[in-house]
Amino acid sequence: MTWTQVCARRLERHALSVPSKAALADVVAGTAGVHAQVMSAAELGIGLRAEGATRADVRKALWDDGTLIKTYGPRGTVHVLPARDLPMWVGALSALPTPPSPFPDPARMTAEQTDEVVAAIGASLEEEDLTVDELGDAVVGRTGPWAGDLVMPAFQTLWPRWRQAMGAAGTRGALCFGPARGRKVTYSSPRRRIPGFRPAEGSGALGDLVRCYLHAYGPATPARFAHWLNAPVPWAAELFASLDLEPVEVKGVPNWVARGDTSLPADPPRGVRLLPYFDGYAYRVGNQPPELLYPGRAHERVLRANFQSLLVDGVVAGLWHQRRSGRRIDVTVEPLVTLSRAQRAELDGQVERVAHVLEGRPELTIGPVTVGGHA
């Protein structure tokens, strides 16, 4: 396969070549989850891929219909996932090698303490959704004062010790996010939000996760899969070798796809697209090297500074920013290439779609983005 074919395949699988008419859960499954550290960016990323969708549709799928769920996913980061697939995700993520703790000895929890806190989190959320302060009180009450010690450096303050286990609680299926209570985030239990929820068996779930990843990002290598998961490369290589995958070559380099999943779009990658915060990062981190997706000035101007991405024919060719004032959404786009008349018209359409998803009225400016990137 050529890089051009792989790029076109990924645009199609991510519903970036043509917006999908499928249910939102299918759209999210097609990207192997959507990064949701910034929830407004996740709403935009999902809405742009689904024909006619708005942020209200995404919120309804999350908090009313229960077809989507917000929890901890790949790399321990917050993601939106299809609720139906959470058993696979929890089974697979629970089976990953445990990474070393980033915290120094005085703050670090032992494996036994982590298990105790995860169990306490699960038990505390059995009956109702809780804010982080309410959950903290409940966890400390079930474990002891040590869990509440203020030892974790975070945002120029200190968090209680137990919070370092929140990611583990999410990937083990003891915790997910609940609907906001005013301006406060709440946490919920997957067992209450998904009837009959039960984590899948680890080895089978890992195989399913590899195939899910390869559907969205393949062809790929074990090293790229390991990078996507923040897992050891030798472990990923052994996992790939244990599965019935199909080898292919991309520019002469061995890669893999799921067995039989070698279809390619007939047309080369085409189109102008706007990707929100973290979406462009996920588009890169899943598969191809940055020099292919961020050519020339895009590497310094967009990738390193963590800006929202302007895609032209599948590669990053600029950056953009939006600012909301009431219903008006001011969109500034800074192309790093010269756009043709047709591409300029397509950009206008993309800005209209951004405004539709965000339920606002767009104003487009072509020029330098003067604000900083996302932290």
Q: How confident is the model at residue 99 (pLDDT cuts 50, 70, 90)?
A: confident
Confidence (pLDDT) at 66: 96
Decide: helix, strand or coil at residue 58. Answer: helix
pLDDT at 285: 62
Strand partners, 184: 181
Contact 257, 218 (CB under 8 A): yes
Q: Which pLDDT belongs to residue 104?
A: 85
Query: Is residue 172's pLDDT more than 70?
Result: yes
pLDDT range class, residue 328, cuts 50, 70, 90: very high
The pLDDT of residue 286 is 57
Q: What is the pLDDT of residue 251?
A: 86
Asked if 81 and 92 count as a contact pair (C-beta separation under 8 A), the reply is: no
pLDDT attached to residue 47: 97
223, amino acid identity: A
The Cα–Cα gap between 200 and 158 comes to 36
* 89 vs 300, residue with greater confidence: 89
Q: Which helix (H) or strand (E) holds 132?
A: helix 132-143
Residues contacting 183, CB < 8 A, separation 6+ = none
Q: How far is CA 158 from CA 103, 150, 184, 191, in A?
A: 13, 5, 19, 31
Which whole number is the average pLDDT over 43-55? 97
Mean residue pLDDT across the chain:
93
Evaluate whether 288 touches 274 at the Cβ level (below 8 Å): no
Give the count of beta carbons closer than 10 Å to the beta carbon of residue 266. 7
Distance, CA of 30 to CA of 14 (rounded, Å): 6
Is the model's pLDDT at 280 over the cut of 80?
A: no
The mean pLDDT value for 50-65 works out to 98
Percent pLDDT > 90 in the chain is 82
φ, ψ of residue 17 to 5 degrees: the values are -80, -45
350 pLDDT more than 90: yes
pTM, whole model, 2 decimals? Answer: 0.94
What percentage of the chain has pLDDT greater than the value 70?
97
pLDDT interval class at 282 (50, 70, 90): low
Containing 46, the helix (H) or strand (E) segment is helix 39-49
pLDDT level of residue 334 (50, 70, 90 thresholds): very high
ω into residue 219 within 30 of 0, thus cis? yes
Lowest mean pLDDT among 37-41, 197-201, 354-358: 37-41
Mean pLDDT of 37-66: 96
Tell me, what's the pLDDT at 65? 97
Average pLDDT over residues 55-78: 96
Please report, for residues 39, 89, 97, 291, 301, the alpha-carbon distance to residue 84 in angstroms, rounded to integers and kept in the order given: 20, 10, 24, 35, 38
Q: How far is the CA of 290 from the CAs of 265, 298, 315, in angstroms?
A: 22, 10, 10
Whether pLDDT at 287 is above 60: no
pLDDT confidence band for 144 (50 / 70 / 90): very high
| pLDDT computed for residue 103 by the predictor | 86
